[in-house]
Amino acid sequence: MTELLSSLKSEWNRSQNGLTDRSPLYHRLYTVLKAAILDGTIPYDAQMPTEQQLVATFDVSRITAKRAMDDLAAENLVARFRGKGSHVIYQYNPKAVRAPLVGMLENLVEIARLGTMRVVTTERAVPPAGIRQILALADHEVAQKVVRICSNEHGEAYAYYRSWTIGVHKGFTRNKLEKHTRLEMLRENGIHLTQVKQVISAESASARIAEELGVEVGAALLWIRRIGHVDSGDVVDVFDGLYNPERFQYVMISSFD
């Protein structure tokens, strides 16, 4: 529960930094908890934090914590059981992957060096259920989470990068991540990717990402996921890139014998 609360607190802190959010405090807490349930960070049948834990973690009143939990119960996301607390009753189902593009050849290091990088966060956190499944992690196991924004030479943000990595022991600081590519940092940790599987699709912009990339909420963004394997075949890295299509183009050149 400690790792989960730490991850939720990080999301809460980032949501509090939004200048455009005028919603009541209980609704902001409800939104953070709901997102964690919907993406499987808090899995089906898991016990929710108690109201006392929410009060202590998020520095809110008991009334605020209760109102947030009441709203989750009203949406049939959690249920209260006498003597057992509140448990998640929503069953996470991973989204179907459409139009995968596998085996694409590209220079990942050169792509990573394009533009100016700003690190939003680097921390050890509990991944969403879909990421845990890919990385073969148990419910409350943590991975290294990195969120970065990449801007072009005009200072316009065109990419929102989010990655989850296991096996990181050193060096994933803001300063180093802004000066070196993530692949270089992985190698520094003894992680040598031997295969990268890639999926390309589209995703609607959330409020936070829309603000970062200069698009409307719900706008279609190019979504690229790269799943990194090491020599043993194990998956150790999941990278998601969201791109503003007005500021970024993806070009592939194929050669044939």
CA 147 – CA 174 distance, rounded (Å): 10
Q: What is the CATH number of domain 108-243?
A: 3.40.1410.10
> Tell me, what's the pLDDT at 146?
93
Look up residue 138 and give its two tokens: 């148990």
Over 70: is that where the pLDDT of 141 sits?
A: yes
Higher pLDDT, 142 or 114: 142
Over 90: is that where the pLDDT of 136 sits?
A: yes
Domain residue extents for the chain: 2-88, 108-243
> Tell me, what's the pLDDT at 97?
38
Over 60: is that where the pLDDT of 246 sits?
A: yes
Residue among 92, 113, 2 at smallest CA distance from 40: 92
CA 49 – CA 47 distance, rounded (Å): 7
CA 70 – CA 64 distance, rounded (Å): 10
Q: Is 145 in contact with 124 (CB distance < 8 Å)?
A: yes
Over 60: is that where the pLDDT of 109 sits?
A: no
Higher pLDDT, 90 or 18: 90
Q: Which amino acid is at 25?
A: L
Over 70: is that where the pLDDT of 107 sits?
A: no
Q: Is 115 in contact with 151 (CB distance < 8 Å)?
A: yes
pLDDT in tens, 34-69: 988 988 888 888 999 999 999 999 999 999 999 999
Over 90: is that where the pLDDT of 207 sits?
A: no
Identical topology for domains 2-88 and 108-243: no
pLDDT cut 90: percent of the chain above it: 35
Residue 88 has φ and ψ, to the nearest 5°, of -70, 130
Confidence of residue 108 (pLDDT cuts 50, 70, 90): very low
In the chain, % helix, strand, coil (3-state, to 5) comes to: 30, 25, 40
CA 209 – CA 149 distance, rounded (Å): 10
CB half-sphere exposure, 46, CA atoms < 13 A? 20
CATH architecture of 2-88: Orthogonal Bundle (1.10)
